[in-house]
Amino acid sequence: MDHFTLIDGELHVENVPLARIAAEVGTPVYVYSTATFQRHARVFRDGLAGLKRKHVAFAVKANPNLAVLRLLANEGFGADVVSGGELARALAAGIPASDVVFSGVGKTRAELEQGLQVGIGQFNLELEEEGVVLSALAAARGQRAPATLRVNPDVDAGTHEKISTGKAENKFGLPIHEAKAIFDRLAPLPGLNLRGVAVHIGSQLQSLEPLERAFERVGELVRELRGAGHTVSHVDLGGGLGVPYRASDNPPSPADFGAMVERVTRDWDVELMFEPGRVISANAGVLLTEVLWVKPGGINPWVIVDSAMNDLARVALYDAYHDFEAVRPSGAKFVANVAGPVCESSDVFAKGREIDLVRSGDLAILRSAGAYGATMASTYNSRPLVPEVLVHGDRYEVVAGRISAETIMAEEHVPAWLQ
């Protein structure tokens, strides 16, 4: 459920007409709904209600906007970060450092230091050497860094190849069969409090089955580690729950997920950690755009909109599906392609799809754009960086301004030898 609905024939976000935002802020623009974020956060939490000890860290990469992070902090979420920049955002949004988990396959020494300095809650280690370095940095500061080993369980998540992370061929985690030996060597290091295991096998999962298999393997590892005398107090189960991008999608609900986790982890006796991103944010945002032209095409007409692959990269990158809807639908439909102005054949949002009949000047939305949308935007083709708006009831605020091509150009210069 969301709060992007037709009121008197016109799409609103909560009580704000999208046409008003388009008139006042311009397009393209991402528009988020506070109530939808809150609802998703609560549904996720309720799904885990049966678990005694847990920590939920929003995967900042899905939507790092400061207002969004604050909103989720108010809902009791911590943050899962993968860079010093994301860590700085989480802290700036008011998330306590102790509620931050630092994931990521290539943390720099400076980023490890930054995490130690602010006292983050947990580092998820990706390789033995990272643990050795973190221990040395922490010991030099008189600290013991809370850490887990991220394992790769070699499970096929059954999702798009480019968002799979838990197969042996992927760069993430360390092979699960090596985890015990690495744990043995890292656990005694003076700067580490090696306290558990982490796993994340991929994103936009449509079935619980691969997650369950991965968690079973982690459970076996936990038993093996304890059998060897290690203390295992924390297990981070990552993110990955899929969301419906189209009406026919039927991903598992947070309640189904929670029930599965409860069953699989019943005798683990650990604090369980979660890193949801998409399931909290995807359907809390849309990309609002204006139709520039309807251009006759060789096969179908081309609806050329003012948003492009630089604003929303998911379609070009993963052949993702985003619903396209008119802000003031007449009820008439036509079969068309939807594309942006960028000079690439992959800058296409929909091909040969039956959509609302639109004309130049009409407003439209691409749905489910609240996760991996604005955060993956670029200024390719020297287009401005797309702004973001957060709606709350009958008001809204621009929570990230449009960064113009001129502002970006101001950071460049022509060297003297060319002048």
Secondary structure (3-state) at 203: coil
210 upstream amide cis, omega within 30 of 0 = no
The catalytic residue among 332, 343, 414, 416 is: 343
Q: Which residues in the 223-242 window bind ligand LLP by CB under 6 A?
A: 238-241
Among 13, 16, 18, 62, binds ligand LLP (CB under 6 A): 62
Least spacing, CB of residue 317 vs ligand LLP, in Å:
7
For tokens 């995490």, name the residue. Answer: 115
User: CA–CA distance from 188 to each of 115, 244, 354, 404 (Å)?
Assistant: 21, 45, 61, 52
Are 19 and 276 in contact by the 8 Å Cβ rule? The answer is no
Within 199-218, the residues that bind ligand LLP by CB under 6 A are 200, 203-204
Within residues 102-161, the interface with ligand LLP by CB under 6 A covers 103
- Cβ proximity to ligand LLP: between 285 and 329 the closer is 285
Residues 301-360 that bind ligand LLP (CB under 6 A): 314, 318
> 128-140 and 176-186 are packed helices; what angle lies between their axes, rounded to 10 degrees?
20
Check residue 173 and report its DSSP letter: S
Contacts (CB under 6 A) with ligand LLP, residues 78-107: 80, 103
- Residue 77: Cβ within 10 Å count: 23
Tell me whether residue 343 is one of the annotated catalytic residues. Answer: yes
Choice from 89, 234, 278, 383 touching ligand LLP (CB under 6 A): 278
d(CA 115, CA 397): 31
What residues contact residue 168 under an 8 Å CB cut-off, 6+ apart? Answer: 152, 154, 175
Instruction: Compute the least distance from the CB of residue 371 to ligand LLP, in Å.
Output: 6
Q: Give the total of residues touching ligand LLP (CB under 6 A).
A: 21
Closest to ligand LLP by CB, 25 vs 273, is 273
387 binds ligand LLP (CB under 6 A): no
Which residues make up the interface to ligand LLP (CB under 6 A)? 59, 62, 80, 103, 163, 165, 200, 203-204, 238-241, 275-279, 314, 318, 372
Active site residues: 343
